[in-house]
Amino acid sequence: MAAVQRLLRAAASGGSAAARRRMTSLATEQAPSAAAGFPFAAEERARRLPMAERNVQWVFLGCPGVGKGTYASRLSRLLGVPHIATGDLVRDELASTGPLATQLAEIVNQGKLVSDEIIFNLLSKRLKKGEDQGESGFILDGFPRTVKQAEILDGVTDIDMVVNLKLREDVLVEKCLGRRICGQCGKNFNLACIDVKGENGLPAIYMEPLLPPNNCMSKLITRADDTEEVVRNRLRIYNDMSQPVEGFYREQGKLLEFDLPGGIPESWPKLLQVLNLEDQEELKLAAA
């Protein structure tokens, strides 16, 4: 499959020395059987660059609303690697005029799941575009979602680390119910001010709201599926699907579980600490 061939070639492009020093040395390469059925898999595995010669290749997992996109995008800027969310890839393709857009529209309109082949096609297309523009490495956001996808991905490229963001369910529900979108500019905000006391062995959590500017306040829209019943059901489905994927990477020694202690001001420095990273911009601001 040409998509698989492009995927590894793009993902294996070289990285900077600074980023290489930041990487965590983890488990050795495995060759899952699921990837063996994809043409070019063996050839592409042979072309992989060792970790010391490329940039980070990380995956971010976590329940809907936990903040994967927020922390993945911050790390992508810090490390100089692209932040790639497969949901964004699907939406971008749907908005295009390419032949795949028509096929995707039919799938989405019928409520069906997008196939692994299409997802990997979109991913390889994105990585190839980034490679041509000089990008190196990647941070995948919310992908893979199944063990099959993880096995295929593992068969054609090397994932260095999988960061699993975790947050207690009652806080997740409150966060999701507070989400709003500006109907004019399309930006995301959150009206929930979360102040949960610690009890029953669970820590206290405080998260400030992410309020919109005045010009967006009157144009806020609530997602139709952001009701408590739907959100809790969505979380149950995610947990059922994610546990095998987490186990897959845990067995490889690549899974890093990170319990968010609060909002961005509390969580970001601690996440950097466990990743052995420093945010130079924030250090400059603190010293000013």
Write the pLDDT tens digit of every residue in 130-185.
878 888 889 999 889 899 999 988 887 889 999 999 998 999 999 999 999 999 99
Q: Which of the residues in the chain have pLDDT under 50?
A: 1-47, 283-288
Radius of gyration of the chain (CA): 20
Q: How many residues does the chain have?
A: 288
| CA 17 to mean position of chain CA atoms | 24
3-state secondary structure of 164: strand
Strands 138-141 and 179-182 turn out to be unpaired
Other Cβ atoms less than 10 A from the Cβ of 286: the count is: 8
Strands 179-182 and 220-221 turn out to be antiparallel
pLDDT given at position 53: 52
pLDDT given at position 155: 82
Task: Report percent pLDDT > 90 for the chain.
Answer: 41
Output the CA torsion sign for 59, 182, 111, 171.
positive
pLDDT given at position 129: 86
pLDDT given at position 163: 97
Look up 68 and say whether it is catalytic: yes
pLDDT given at position 103: 86
pLDDT given at position 280: 61
pLDDT given at position 270: 94
Q: Which two tokens stand for residue 261?
A: 């202690």
Find the catalytic residue in 145, 232, 250, 270: 145
Superfamily the domain 55-167+232-278 falls into: P-loop containing nucleotide triphosphate hydrolases (3.40.50.300)
Q: Name the pTM for this structure.
A: 0.75
Find the catalytic residue in 125, 179, 180, 254: 179
Find the catalytic residue in 54, 68, 126, 180: 68
Residue 252 CA to residue 30 CA, distance in Å, equals 8
- Scored b (16 or more CB within 10 A) or e, 91-100 reads eebeeeeeee
Look up 219 and say whether it is catalytic: no
Look up 48 and say whether it is catalytic: no
| CA 250 to mean position of chain CA atoms | 17
- Scored b (16 or more CB within 10 A) or e, 186-198 reads eeebbebebebee
Find the catalytic residue in 223, 232, 250, 270: 223
